Amino acid sequence: MYVICTGSCCNDGSLTAHTKRHAGKHSCSQCGKCFSSQSGLRNHANTHTDKYKCTECGRCCESSAILELHKRSHSGEKPFECRICSKHFTKSVNLVRHSRIHSGDKPYKCKMCDKAFRVSFHLNRHMRVHTGDKPYKCSLCDKSFIQFGNLQSHERHVHSSSKPYLCFYCGKFFKTTVELKRHIRIHTGAKPYSCRHCSYCFMQLDQLKTHLLKSHNEGTWLICHICQKKFIHSGDLKTHVCRHEGVKPYVCSKCPNRFYRATELKRHLLVHLDDIMT
């Protein structure tokens, strides 16, 4: 049997749509991207014209509807409000996903284990845990990733010193918009993540997850298969297992040193910065 890719889908509908993308016969003459339908190609072609162009940043969108959604990133308009915590969203689908934090609903279930997820994307990513597939490889070190976004984040945090996102409150710069948004809550005091069992609210989602697990026994501990130590966050468990196995995935691009954590590599890179300055 001929295998096109090792991607995983959470249901038959997603698999059918994904397969059609591989079978796409309609290709863009300007960038080569393929589409399964002529209408998909026509919408994509608009990104190469000024038909639906944002006057703020110059981005060209596929349709007028997508352009209107994009404009909200500049205006800050968020018309969809959560009735429980009053958090606002630019898209209705984002509100639906957010509401599952309060309801605890996890409709996307893994057929290979007992885990369930609030978002189909998270299930698709989780399936690679079973397949072992890490298709996104860093060109600067030997680390591989399940998702392309994780690779991009790794390259920004570990191999790049660029910090393009500015906090207008204090002038501090950040590498990603996610980091900037988290930081701004320090200035505004916003705590959008509320516990449905008690009156506590939190600035970060991870803080809420930790609280739910420790205070209300809601959630699942992640257990090291070697020493049975418990963890809340998967990143902490992975680093812990690496220490058992002696694996140091973060490699310095300036010397042979390797590290267990990205933060350790960042601190080490300051040594090379000092060498350059002196």
Work out the angle between the directed axes of helices 262-277 and 148-158 (0-180°, nearest 10): 40
Residue type, 155: E
Question: Residue 20's pLDDT is what?
Answer: 55
Contact 266, 158 (CB under 8 A): yes
171-209: burial string, b at 16+ Cβ within 10 Å, e else: eeebbeeebbeebbeeeeeeebbbbeeeeeebbeeeebb
**Domains in the chain, CATH or no CATH each:** 10-76 (3.30.160), 78-133 (3.30.160.60), 222-277 (3.30.160.60)
The two structure tokens encoding residue 4: 């096109």
Question: Residue 150's pLDDT is what?
Answer: 81
Identify the burial level of 127 via C-beta atoms within 10 angstroms of its C-beta, where 0-12 means exposed, 13-18 middle and 19 or more buried.
buried
Q: How do residues 220-237 score in pLDDT, each as one tens digit? A: 888 999 999 988 888 888
The two structure tokens encoding residue 8: 């995983």
Question: What stretches in the chain show pLDDT beneath 70?
Answer: 1-25, 274-278
Rounded Cα distance between 33 and 46, Å, is: 13
Identify the burial level of 54 via C-beta atoms within 10 angstroms of its C-beta, where 0-12 means exposed, 13-18 middle and 19 or more buried.
middle
Question: Residue 1's pLDDT is what?
Answer: 33
Kindly write down the DSSP assignment for every residue of the chain, as one continuous string: ---------SSHHHHHHHHHHHT--EE-TTT--EESSHHHHHHHHGGGSSTTB-TTT--B-SSHHHHHHHHHHHH----EE-TTT--EESSHHHHHHHHHHHH----EE-SSSS-EESSHHHHHHHHHHHH----EE-SSSS-EESSHHHHHHHHHHHS-----EEPTTT--EESSHHHHHHHHHHHH----EE-SSSS-EESSHHHHHHHHHHHH--S--EE-TTT--EESSHHHHHHHHHHHHT---EE-SSSS-EESSHHHHHHHHHHHHHHHH-
Residues 6+ apart with CB under 8 A from 10: 108, 120, 123, 124, 127
